[in-house]
């Protein structure tokens, strides 16, 4: 059994539905310690006055190279989404059938982390500094995960030069896509208040539903943009409508809805929130935004070229540089250093019977080894990365 496959099985065997703590981090620590990494684990989100949030565990591990050597960081998450029903095998019992390894997290993204650790076996300790930035809070609210790890690194004066996130970016085969950026995300809760009353006496009431419908119609018809050189067009989607009126003969006092906007670098979360708030107010409502992340781009350059070369050497495929898809913790890490995402095929992530092609594990580990070694010798500034 290859090292990458063994590590992937160990991680999958440790249930870690978000937010993750405990056993899965014990497994991660046990894999890294023999390789000479100094490991710091801590929890966030618990013990705070008035908070009922479940604790989140984070792990930062570092193996320092020679003084003045470059610092390359691997980043990812050990938490997984709930497995759901209908699996053909226990989702937390790694199962192999032919060339496939099944289990929750096989793709997103325990196997990629296993490949990162496996890659570290082949990276000489004197080649440069390697670190692991690993959270248990990526699939959840992402409030106490990577952002807390960034605070820890800054407090310790630790600054990676480049960072690779192991999200499953490949589409049809390993190596066909890497993510050099992501669109931003903002969710906005909309509320319209009225006056409750009997449906037979509408003049004594004020129905909020028509106002909400008109508001949503105007929002749905917005043309935010047509895209940019590296980003697809921004899109606004209505994701929930709620009244909760259980009586057929009552005009409700309140109507609510939620929208989600994924936006490119022509906008900011704040500018879009203000725009939506103005429309809501024109229809007698109010808007409460929560900005999940701003758009970012690691422009094509030395870093992406180096990674593309490593991928081509192992797979024969030239990865497409893309900004498509949802958000990831790269949106936080980009404030620390240039960041690119590259990992396994994403066809089964978050699905029942999630599975990874076993041959891809060793190939990915070799790509990660070459990426780290390439990063140590890459002569570039953050702006050129």
Task: Encode 270-300 in three state secondary structure.
Answer: HHHHHHHHHHHHHCCEEEEEEEEECCEECCC
Cα gap 29→60, rounded to integer Å? 10
**224-257 b/e with 16+ CB inside 10 Å = b?**
beeeeebbbebebeeeeeeeeeeeeeebbbbbbb
The dihedral sign for the CA sequence 83, 103, 176, 376:
positive
- What's the token pair of residue 251? 């005009």
* Residue 144 marked in a binding site: no
* Residue 108 marked in a binding site: yes
Cα gap 223→214, rounded to integer Å? 17
- What's the token pair of residue 224? 């935010």
Catalytic residue among 57, 137, 138, 161: 138
* Residue 151 marked in a binding site: no
Cα gap 121→137, rounded to integer Å? 27
Q: Catalytic annotation on 53?
A: no
Contact, 118 vs 1, CB < 8 A? no
Q: Catalytic annotation on 138?
A: yes
* Residue 77 marked in a binding site: yes
Catalytic residue among 57, 79, 161, 314: 79
Cα gap 94→80, rounded to integer Å? 14
- Cis amide leading into 19 (omega within 30): yes
Cα gap 333→340, rounded to integer Å? 10
Residue with the two structure tokens 């290859």:
2
* Residue 312 marked in a binding site: no
Residues in the annotated binding site for Zn(2+):
77, 108, 139, 167, 350
Residues in the annotated binding site:
77, 108, 139, 167, 350
Positions annotated as catalytic residues are 79, 138
């Amino acid at each position: 059994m290859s090292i990458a496959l063994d590590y992937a099985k160990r991680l999958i065997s440790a249930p870690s539905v978000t937010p993750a703590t405990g056993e899965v981090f014990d497994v991660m620590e046990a894999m890294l310690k023999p390789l000479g990494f100094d490991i710091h684990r801590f929890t966030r989100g618990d013990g705070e006055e008035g908070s009922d949030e479940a604790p989140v565990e984070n792990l930062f591990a570092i193996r320092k190279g020679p003084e003045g050597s470059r610092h390359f960081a691997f980043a990812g998450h050990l938490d997984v989404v709930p497995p759901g029903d209908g699996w053909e095998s226990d989702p937390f019992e790694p199962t192999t059938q032919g060339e496939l390894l099944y289990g929750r997290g096989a793709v997103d993204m325990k196997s990629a982390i296993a490949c990162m650790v496996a890659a570290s076996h082949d990276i000489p300790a004197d080649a440069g500094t390697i670190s692991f930035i690993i959270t248990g809070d990526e699939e959840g609210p992402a409030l106490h995960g990577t952002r807390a790890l960034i605070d820890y690194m800054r407090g310790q004066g630790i600054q990676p030069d480049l960072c690779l996130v192991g999200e499953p970016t490949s589409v049809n085969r390993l190596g066909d896509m890497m993510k050099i950026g992501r669109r931003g995300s903002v969710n906005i809760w909309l509320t319209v208040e009225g006056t409750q009353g009997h449906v037979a006496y509408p003049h004594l009431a004020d129905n909020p539903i028509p106002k909400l419908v008109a508001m949503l119609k105007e929002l749905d018809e917005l043309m935010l943009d047509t895209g940019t050189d590296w980003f697809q067009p921004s899109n606004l989607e209505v994701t929930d409508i709620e009244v909760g009126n259980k009586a057929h003969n009552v005009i409700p006092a309140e109507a609510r809805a939620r929208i989600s906007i994924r936006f490119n670098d022509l906008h900011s979360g704040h500018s879009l929130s203000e725009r939506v708030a103005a429309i809501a107010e024109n229809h007698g409502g109010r808007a409460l935004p929560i900005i999940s992340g701003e758009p970012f781009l690691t422009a094509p350059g030395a870093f992406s070229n180096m990674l593309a070369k490593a991928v081509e050497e192992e797979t024969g495929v030239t990865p497409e540089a893309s900004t498509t898809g949802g958000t990831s913790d790269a949106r936080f890490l980009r404030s620390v250093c240039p960041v690119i995402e590259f990992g396994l095929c994403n066809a089964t992530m978050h699905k029942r019977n999630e599975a990874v092609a076993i041959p891809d594990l060793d190939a990915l580990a070799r790509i990660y080894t070459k990426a780290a070694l390439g990063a140590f010798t890459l002569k570039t500034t953050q702006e050129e990365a």
